[in-house]
Amino acid sequence: MTQLESARKGKLSPEARTVAKQEAISTKKLLSLIRSGKVVIPANPKHKKLKAIGIGTALRTKINANIGTSPYKPSLKQELAKLSVCEEFGADTVMDLSTGGKLDLIRKKIIQSTVLPVGTVPIYGAAVKKGLDNLGEDDFINEFEKQAKQGIDFATVHSGITLSSMKLSKKRRHGIVSRGGSMIHHWMSLTGIENPFFKHYNVLLDIACEHDVTLSLGDALRPGCIEDSTDKPQLNELKLLGKLAARSVKVGVQTIIEGPGHVPLHEVEKNLKLQQKYCKGVPFYVLGPIVTDIAFGYDHITSAIGGAIAAWHGAAFLCYVTPAEHLSLPSLEDVKEGIIASRIAAHVADIAKGIPKSRQWDNKVSDARKNLDWESLFKLSLDPKKARDYRKKSGAHGKECSMCGEYCALKVKKCG
Ligand code: SF4
């Protein structure tokens, strides 16, 4: 039984109980939100170590970190080290996007090793195993089913790109930038066959229902530069994803919808409003959004700006972006930087949205700062080691820091 089916029966699953406690929300309200498809709890029963989290309306904004090998760097050891960084620095979920090495083994090890919900993009596994050009329709579905049986908690399926919609992307400045989307586009162009994730959506739903895999409906036609933002291909696909999500929710399959991508600042709010209109409250999972295209090397910052605005206006789930975005496979340090940037974006939005406990965290920091209570400040920090190292390196020995020294405003005069 899925979390959604359980909520519809009025049952409080152990995972829902955990989420209600974490979020300081009543179980009655949580079950009502799950029933309406506005909250999901990605929790495949086969993922034994899982610590459940909820994603959606009225809950703390969650952040995802992508890890996974590439054909250039197929090291399981390195990706497991990244997984540890994800847990240490507070990612809420992790996606294994591996495309190099022994994919089934890598996925198995990641699921076995982590308490975080694990997501994947099954088309990668199918394409790497057989070669994209050799895939049959069944291979798309079979790969999804295999991964569902392995214990993945959520999966990106690009069900919204179809034979009729793929032509729309030709007029764009940047075409298709979704890796999974481009794979399906290529396969449909080659075979002339409809996207199996769209054509056989009912079969996907049956599998997702059996294993309680949350579907993350991927936006194959998301904009890859701000010039393509909010264009016809993107919105056309979003409308279709909204209809597919309604079908999922109706049959008890937990579903979220993925969104852009590259969006200029002044269009972020509009994107959220359109998603709410077309998708009726199904949680929105945004990939950034990156608000300018010029800052490669610093795209954890451009995406944190976009992510904060998006979450403020209703996005429930932010996919992190690391400084290595558009440049290389991220290092351990890149993963850490991406997580911290994304957590800042989520947190500032949660303050604006009045999410329980978020503002109190700032108030505790404020009290510790006022009292020059460095130990408490470090403990409350997103990155205690970095904060501690700055103070140590500065050579400050008094209560104040090295910025103002003896003229420390907090030390000289206690005002108020
Ligand atoms: S020295 Fe200046 S910057 Fe440092 S804690 Fe005091 S007032 Fe703040």
pLDDT in tens, 53-74: 999 999 999 999 999 999 999 9
Average pLDDT of the chain is 96
DSSP string, 376-407: HHHHHSSSHHHHHHHHHHHT--SSS-TTTGGG
Has residue 273 got a pLDDT over 60? yes
Token digits of residue 257: 């919808």
Has residue 40 got a pLDDT over 60? yes
Q: Which domains are present in the chain?
A: 3-353 (3.20.20.540), 358-412 (no CATH)
For ligand 1, atom 6, name the residue with the nearest CA.
408
Q: Is the CB of 383 under 6 A from ligand 1?
A: no
Has residue 414 got a pLDDT over 70? no
> For residues 315 and 135, what is the distance between their CA atoms, to the nearest angstrom?
34
DSSP state of 194: P
262: three-class secondary structure by DSSP: strand
Q: Could you tell me which of 382, 296, 290 has the C-alpha nearest to residue 344?
A: 382
> For residues 194 and 159, what is the distance between their CA atoms, to the nearest angstrom?
10
Give the pLDDT confidence of 169-197 residue by residue, as tens digits: 888 898 888 999 999 999 999 999 999 99
Q: Is the CB of 403 under 6 A from ligand 1?
A: yes
- Taking residues 100-128, report their average pLDDT: 97
Beta bridge mates, 155: 120, 215
Q: Is the CB of 410 under 6 A from ligand 1?
A: yes
> For residues 390 and 395, what is the distance between their CA atoms, to the nearest angstrom?
9
Has residue 208 got a pLDDT over 60? yes
pLDDT of residue 318: 98
- Taking residues 214-232, report their average pLDDT: 95
Has residue 213 got a pLDDT over 90? yes
In order of 13, 50, 180, 207, 213, the CA distances from 252 in angstroms are 15, 21, 25, 12, 11
Flag whether the pTM goes above 0.75. Answer: yes
> For residues 25 and 102, what is the distance between their CA atoms, to the nearest angstrom?
42
Give the pLDDT confidence of 387-407 residue by residue, as tens digits: 999 999 998 888 899 999 889
> For residues 114 and 109, what is the distance between their CA atoms, to the nearest angstrom?
9
Q: Is the CB of 408 under 6 A from ligand 1?
A: yes
Has residue 384 got a pLDDT over 60? yes
Q: Is the CB of 401 under 6 A from ligand 1?
A: yes
Has residue 416 got a pLDDT over 60? no
- Going from the Cα of 403 to the center of ligand 1, the distance in angstroms, rounded, reads 6
Confidence of residue 245 (pLDDT cuts 50, 70, 90): very high
42: three-class secondary structure by DSSP: coil
Q: Is the CB of 396 under 6 A from ligand 1?
A: no
CB 181 within 8 A of CB 218: yes
Q: Which residues of 79-88 are buried (b: 16+ CB within 10 A; e: fewer)?
A: beebbebbbe
pLDDT of residue 168: 84
Residue 322 makes CB contacts below 8 A (sequence gap 6+) with: 299, 300, 330, 334, 335, 337, 338
pLDDT of residue 171: 83
Residue indicated by tokens 């080691």:
385
Choose one of 378, 390, 404 to mutate for the ligand 1 pocket test, by most ligand atoms within 8 angstroms of C-beta.
404
Give the ligand 1 atom nearest the CA of 405.
Answer: 1
Start-to-end C-alpha separation, the chain: 56
Judged on CB neighbours under 10 Å (0-12, 13-18, 19+), 22 is: middle
pLDDT of residue 415: 54
Put residue 101 in one of left, alpha, beta given phi > 0 → left and psi -120 to 50 → alpha. Answer: left
CA 94 to chain centroid, in Å, comes to 8
Rounded to 5 degrees, what are φ and ψ at 376? -65, -40
- Going from the Cα of 371 to the center of ligand 1, the distance in angstroms, rounded, reads 11
pLDDT of residue 229: 93
CB 257 within 8 A of CB 245: yes
Confidence of residue 412 (pLDDT cuts 50, 70, 90): confident
Choose one of 365, 410, 415 to mutate for the ligand 1 pocket test, by most ligand atoms within 8 angstroms of C-beta.
410
Confidence of residue 312 (pLDDT cuts 50, 70, 90): very high
Confidence of residue 232 (pLDDT cuts 50, 70, 90): very high
